Structure 1
Amino acid sequence: MVKIYRKSLSFSTLWVSTNEKLSDFYASSWQRGESPIPMLICRTVLTAVALAILLWSLVEAPNPYWLIYLTNWGLLLDVGMLISGIVVSLEVIYNKTYDIKELPWYASLYWALFNIAVTLSIMITSLYWLLLYDPNLREEMGERAFWLDVSTHGITSCVCLAEVLLSRTPVRFPHLYQPLSMGLWYAVFSIIFYMAGGKDINGNPFIYDVLDWSQGKRTSIVVAASMAGLVIVYSFVWGVALCRDKLSTLLVRTTSHDLPAAPPDRHMRVV
């Protein structure tokens, strides 16, 4: 039992250093063969969308507080994931590294960012529309600000889900600790921000009202619920990836192996 336990929870399983096929990180689930070109095209389009939203956010509301918000952390992670995915595709094209089990650093980086960015993006969208969005403020915000909110708290999640559905990137349940670690780190950052006397753009001593550490009990409950939410979201992503692999293997990637013709039976006289 100890051997089985160690094998199932080895470092290579918990980390993002090995996988059966490198092609899982550069080929699409919905193609025959393992050419990196289809997924490279898809990632280029998705990256253009994510970069456009990121630049829109920076231009529309430039302020020194931009980096304190979880939404903007998510934007940077989304863009980083997609750019690292493009790097994986380009490296395969130019260096011809098609099939290795020990992943190169850029594939491991993409995989870790994928696990964190996709989960966090969906979680940010859920938290914003459930806890922070106030429909009464839409007229006060203006149409441009409203659609920027829709882009940063909705379209980015769609971009991440598109990456999940189009790619073959594996989703392993033991990797749950990666998005959980990022969520926990942001909670710690918000505590440091509060204890250091940080102020948001409106002069409030917190980043978000739901992360007001002057009300420690309530905020601790919010953080604990958010951690549980990350588990649910990651489980959802894991389920989506599982269905993707099952369907694509059944409908698209199923191949028949050409077996060599059997030699004639020496007991039979074939003319």
Structure 2
Amino acid sequence: MNQAMRPAKPRPSWGLWAAIIGVVGGMTLWSAWGVGLSATEFFCNIGGGGRLLRESWPPDFAFLPRLWGPFLETLQIALIGTVVGGILAIPVAVLAARPISPNRTTWFVDRNFMNVLRTMPDLFWAMLFAAAVGFGPLAGALALSVFTVAVVSKLFSESMESIDMNLPEAVRASGGTWLEMVRFSVLPQVWPQYASYVMYAFELNVRASMVLGLVGAGGIGMILNTQRASFEYERVTMIILMVLVAVLVIEQISIAVRRRLI
């Protein structure tokens, strides 16, 4: 192509970028001042962090055999929460997808219900269910089920909002019911994305299940909290390393599965 015919590249708006950086930087400094962050306090206490690192290394590998049972329980809690929450997320997502929802009222109610689920963190649900059904794996599984519904339904509904609507309209025009439209023309277009979202939720649940154990929701998090309270930092490091390796393995498996599905 002739040099003269090439479209001119848009010049970067340096003034706009400078304004954005200035606003973000100013808001950050204002936030730091508001919460009382102090660089002096940080550097004066950094020695405590070094002492904690020295006490945490090397990991207590002799403690590893005692972790297999709680860690297996953590995986089981994450799996139950993912499966139950993934199934419940399907109708929630269908009703929250605006082009698919049967009417505006249903869409509005379901969308706000989904927003409420996302507003509450998984730790809140764990504390709530622990108070309701007692401490243990059941509370963790219920909390992760709600968390999975919140995550998967949001992503899944957005996928359904971007599908080709010609096929659903053809099903309705030929006399098909709303359920037939969803079953035969909507869901087949988004099943691969749904499977990908469920795998992603399982990754999140494995991480979250360790945190939920800190509030008595079962799993290896309860062991972590006990060792931390006892200042057994070498054992804490061992637990963190074990979970880190497991999460990395699960993440790689999940990535491989998602690449085959999409």
**TM-score bracket relative to the smaller structure:** under 0.3
More helix as a share of residues: 2
TM-score, normalised relative to structure 1: 0.27
TM-score, normalised relative to structure 2: 0.28
Q: Which has the larger radius of gyration?
A: 2
